[in-house]
Structure 1
Amino acid sequence: MATPHPRSLRQRLSLWLAVQSLAGLGAVCLVVYWVTAMNLSERQNEMLAQKEVIVRHLLGHVQETPREHPLSDFLIGHENFRLVVRSGDGRLVFPLVEPSEDSARLATRVFEVAPHVQGGQALQVTLSMDVAEDMLHLRRLAVTLAVAAVVGTVVISLGGFSIVHFGLAPVRRLAAQVQLLSADNLHQRLDGSGQPTELAPLVEQFNGLLGRLDQAYVQMEGFNADVAHELRTPLATLLASNELALRRPASFDLPEVLSSNLEELHRLTGIVNDMLFLSQADRGAVARRTDTPSLAAIVQQVADYHEAALSEAGLDLLVSGDVAGSFDVPLLQRALSNLIGNATQHAQRGTRIVVDIVAIPAGRVHVAVTNMGQTVPPDILGRIFDRFFRASASRSHSEKNHGLGLAITAAIARMHDGRPTASSHQGVTTIGLELSVNAKVVRARYPEGPAE
């Protein structure tokens, strides 16, 4: 099915203006015609009423038969009037000859005149007036008004077309500015100076969109560079070790080379899997929720997995609070593992990592992991959930992770219709998740001492 060709805004406005002009002028012309017709009708009725008074007077004072009465004198100078007088039995009294009448051109008034002698018959009088001139006047007025309406509509439409064309000039200027934009100059903004008030919000919103696109484009370029860098290192290691092993097979232990290559391949696989997961999350994947009676138990399972790393770093872990709700347990375990692992890397030795589980209003729960260490600057804190972002080389731990842990954590929060949270003040850093769930408080777990 062929799609209709869209009309331009100028055509639509001009067409509607023409239709409204025709309707408005047509209504005015109809009113003028109706008022004129009413005035002519009233004038005709008034003239007939005046002549009726005269006829009644003449017939009321006649002493002879009506045909001897000077009724003919009444019609002198009133050629557009017709007068017919009949007796009570229908006999023609005046004029002597039955007149031929064109009822379509006559305005008629019929009345009775009492007999001038006692016992006589009343006279039936038909008084008519020729309105042909009035009808011709109305026809001419109708034609004049119709022509005036059409001509007026054409004039107004042409003027409206020019006004619309001139009024849309700012839109054409904006379109010309937008046409000059490309991926290479997204930093430019539309010039909103001199624009009408109605277009100012559009310019502001479009400039905001350009800013977001520019930022996203920069992030995408940086992301591509980070991906290339992360993949280049293990690939380079694999190439170098294989080339050396092939050139000098006697000086290399083949199982050791294969083991080293296998580690690099696992790292590559992890990067690819994480990238695929983030891609699915960006496309709108949602969590597969199941009823979870105790969120604290899930946290404790993840903490047990990190027990060796916590012990090596001289840290203990406390789980505070609990809720029951609906979560995607594997995804939540992965997010909690990333948060606890991140806190373990950056916590000061001998301190405690605290995992707070707090039910908040509107059916949401906040899971926050807090550690003591260095204060994270605000500019770095705002980017910790970016992909491949590392605050510094000393904290990168590139041999263990590739900078996607917190980005995956943020994606898991969004998949639970939530958001990531982060704060850092006076050496206390808290990174967590706010999840959407109809959660209810169960009880506080591990209120004292470290988690077992």
Structure 2
Amino acid sequence: MAGRSLTTTLALAFAGTTIAVFALVGSVLYFALEKQVTQQDDDEIVLAARHTRRLTNELRSADDVRTHADRLTSQVLGNAALSMAVRDANGTMLLSHNAEGGTTSMIEPLVATQRVAPSARITHTAIVEAQRDARLPVRGLAAEASLADGSAVTIVIARDMTDRWILLDHYRDRLYGAGFGGMLLAFLMSWMLVHESLRPLRQLAAHAAQVTVDRLHARMNIDNAPRELAVVIASLNAMLDRLAGGFQRMSQYTADLAHDMRTPLANLRGSNEVALARPRSAEEYQAVLESNLEECERLSRMIESVLFLARAEHPQFVTHMKTLDAREELQRVADYFEGIADDAGVQVRVTGSGAVRADPELFRRAVSNLLANAIRHTPREREIELSAAAAATALRITVANQGSHIDPSALERVFDRFYRADPARHNAPAGPASTGLGLAIVRTIMELHGGNAYAESDAASTRFILNFPKT
């Protein structure tokens, strides 16, 4: 099942962000306009109420209020939404302005509210909001005033807010339209920009599709790639380098394994064909069987070594680390090879001391492989030295033999699988025949221990050195 389009997802995200920004900004602007309009209307109401009360306080009686009605109503002239009413203490309407269209219904809700006392200052806090016919909004206030004859009247100033509602509704509709249009524009532009921005990714996918087993040399170009993809492309190219190297090593390893297995198999087949060419004595058949057994043992060791290397490269390979006495372990290996060394005419000497943290079986196998290799390449009447010495950050195990000098170019490859620095000598009679995997196993064991292995060679001796990290 195909996943969602990254281009569409990002475009929708940008569109959603745009509409959220529009909604936030629009809301702020809408409420700011509403507050400004309300503040302006409240200022007109308060100002009209103050002037009207001041003029009313100068009148002597209710009759003067009727007589000077034009003077009083002039405070709300010029604004068709403003209304005025003056009532006496009995509720009798002394004057009204803008009575058409239901002024009374505008005034009544305000009269019922709390009134400003004659001696109190009229402020914005006295303004209340009410509703008249058809639930239309009204804002205003009611204030009391004292006439010269001591009677009291109630002044009501009201403003019909219907026009303000219509204004704000139109403004809100425009904000909705602008927000929706902006969202569509943001979606379309984002889609085009993201689609164009992802072109290097599509090109990367096209280049990756061209990489096959037969074309592992192909690499992705990072010259014109965006900086964000340059690291990814470099990592992919590095991965391809590792894969190419792995395939090359695997191919070489398979070819070397087939070549090395072909030799003992050819020997087995040849000896059997010779033995079957004519009738032979029991001693001759016994010699053939002994030769075949040696070749079978060589094949068995080779298969065992290959299986060990395969298991060691598995991430779940288990090691059992212990703190070992290096000298004791080296002496154990030397004692095991004592008979083989005597047959080869060489002497094995153990020196040094130290503690090493390692898997006992793997430690012995690594040293045994080095010692077997040294026995095969050490002339008779010479000495092999196994030594342990503490270095700054590691315990160094050295297997040194007085053999032939190894060329410096070969020192870098002696730990490769099936590599032999002197192919003509791999079947030397001293010790078991080499499978070409012994030193490769040594390097793998050292990698499992977090250490390293390397070789040194000069005219005096050849030395194989194992560095185990200190405990």
Q: Same fold (TM over 0.5)?
A: yes
Contact 1:424–1:430 (CA under 8 A) maintained in structure 2: yes
**In the alignment, which of 385, 390, 412 is matched to residue 358 of structure 1?**
390
| Corresponding position of 1:337 | 368
**Counterparts of 2:172 and 2:451 in 1: how far apart (Å)?**
73
Contact 2:386–2:397 (CA under 8 A) maintained in structure 1: no
- Aligned pairs for 1:13-412 within 5 A: 13-65=10-62, 66-70=65-69, 71-72=72-73, 77-88=78-89, 90=91, 92-95=93-96, 99-101=104-106, 102-103=131-132, 104-117=135-148, 119-121=150-152, 123-250=153-280, 253-284=284-315, 285-290=317-322, 292=324, 294-310=325-341, 312=344, 314-323=346-355, 326-346=357-377, 350=382, 353-358=385-390, 361=393, 365-373=395-403, 376-397=406-427, 400-412=433-445
CA RMSD, Structure 1 to Structure 2 (Å): 2.8
Q: Report the count of equivalent residues.
A: 429
Letter in 1 for 2:105: S
**Counterparts of 1:370 and 1:46 in 2: how far apart (Å)?**
105
Letter in 2 for 1:250: R
Residue 100 of structure 1: SS of its match in structure 2? helix
Cα offset, 1:182, TM superposition: 0.8
**Counterparts of 1:5 and 1:357 in 2: how far apart (Å)?**
61
Q: Percent identity of the aligned residues?
A: 28
Residue 104 of structure 2: SS of its match in structure 1? coil
Tell me, which stretches of 5 or more residues in structure 1 are unaligned? 439-452
**Counterparts of 1:412 and 1:357 in 2: how far apart (Å)?**
19
Tell me, which stretches of 5 or more residues in structure 2 are unaligned? 107-130
Contact 1:371–1:430 (CA under 8 A) maintained in structure 2: yes
**Counterparts of 1:58 and 1:347 in 2: how far apart (Å)?**
130
Cα offset, 1:111, TM superposition: 4.1
Deviates further, 347-356 or 149-158:
347-356
Residue 465 of structure 2: SS of its match in structure 1? strand
| TM-score calculated relative to the size of structure 1 | 0.85
> Residues 223 and 397 from structure 1, CA distance in 2 versus in 1: closer, same or farther, beyond 3 angstroms?
same
| Corresponding position of 2:128 | none
Residue 157 of structure 1: SS of its match in structure 2? helix
Cα offset, 1:298, TM superposition: 1.0
Cα offset, 1:314, TM superposition: 4.2
Cα offset, 1:281, TM superposition: 0.6
**Counterparts of 1:50 and 1:286 in 2: how far apart (Å)?**
92
Contact 1:320–1:357 (CA under 8 A) maintained in structure 2: yes
> Residues 112 and 304 from structure 1, CA distance in 2 versus in 1: closer, same or farther, beyond 3 angstroms?
same
**Counterparts of 2:50 and 2:166 in 1: how far apart (Å)?**
28
Contact 1:234–1:264 (CA under 8 A) maintained in structure 2: yes
Larger C-alpha radius of gyration, 1 or 2? 2
Q: Deviations over 1:110-139 (max 9, x none)?
A: 242431226333x33221111211111111
Cα offset, 1:375, TM superposition: 5.3
> Residues 289 and 25 from structure 1, CA distance in 2 versus in 1: closer, same or farther, beyond 3 angstroms?
same
**Counterparts of 1:257 and 1:41 in 2: how far apart (Å)?**
116
> Residues 238 and 77 from structure 1, CA distance in 2 versus in 1: closer, same or farther, beyond 3 angstroms?
same
Residue 273 of structure 2: SS of its match in structure 1? helix
**Counterparts of 1:375 and 1:29 in 2: how far apart (Å)?**
86
Deviates further, 379-388 or 392-401:
392-401
Deviates further, 196-205 or 159-168:
196-205
Contact 2:73–2:84 (CA under 8 A) maintained in structure 1: no
Letter in 2 for 1:410: R
> Residues 60 and 240 from structure 1, CA distance in 2 versus in 1: closer, same or farther, beyond 3 angstroms?
same
Residue 119 of structure 1: SS of its match in structure 2? coil
Residue 400 of structure 1: SS of its match in structure 2? coil
Residue 421 of structure 2: SS of its match in structure 1? coil
**Counterparts of 2:374 and 2:38 in 1: how far apart (Å)?**
99
Cα offset, 1:383, TM superposition: 2.3
Contact 2:327–2:388 (CA under 8 A) maintained in structure 1: no
**Counterparts of 1:18 and 1:161 in 2: how far apart (Å)?**
10
**Counterparts of 1:321 and 1:413 in 2: how far apart (Å)?**
19
**Counterparts of 1:379 and 1:164 in 2: how far apart (Å)?**
54
Residue 80 of structure 2: SS of its match in structure 1? coil
**Counterparts of 1:299 and 1:167 in 2: how far apart (Å)?**
64
Contact 1:60–1:113 (CA under 8 A) maintained in structure 2: no
**Counterparts of 1:229 and 1:213 in 2: how far apart (Å)?**
24
Residue 454 of structure 2: SS of its match in structure 1? strand
Q: Deviations over 1:206-259 (max 9, x none)?
A: 222211111111111110011111111111222222233334233672222221
> Residues 13 and 425 from structure 1, CA distance in 2 versus in 1: closer, same or farther, beyond 3 angstroms?
farther
Runs of 4+ in 1 over 6 A off after TM superposition: none
| Corresponding position of 1:421 | 453
Contact 1:352–1:372 (CA under 8 A) maintained in structure 2: yes
Cα offset, 1:193, TM superposition: 1.7
> Residues 418 and 34 from structure 1, CA distance in 2 versus in 1: closer, same or farther, beyond 3 angstroms?
same
Cα offset, 1:63, TM superposition: 3.0
> Residues 64 and 355 from structure 1, CA distance in 2 versus in 1: closer, same or farther, beyond 3 angstroms?
same
**Counterparts of 1:375 and 1:30 in 2: how far apart (Å)?**
87
Letter in 2 for 1:301: R
Q: Deviations over 1:9-65 (max 9, x none)?
A: 323322221221111122121122122112211221122123223322332222341
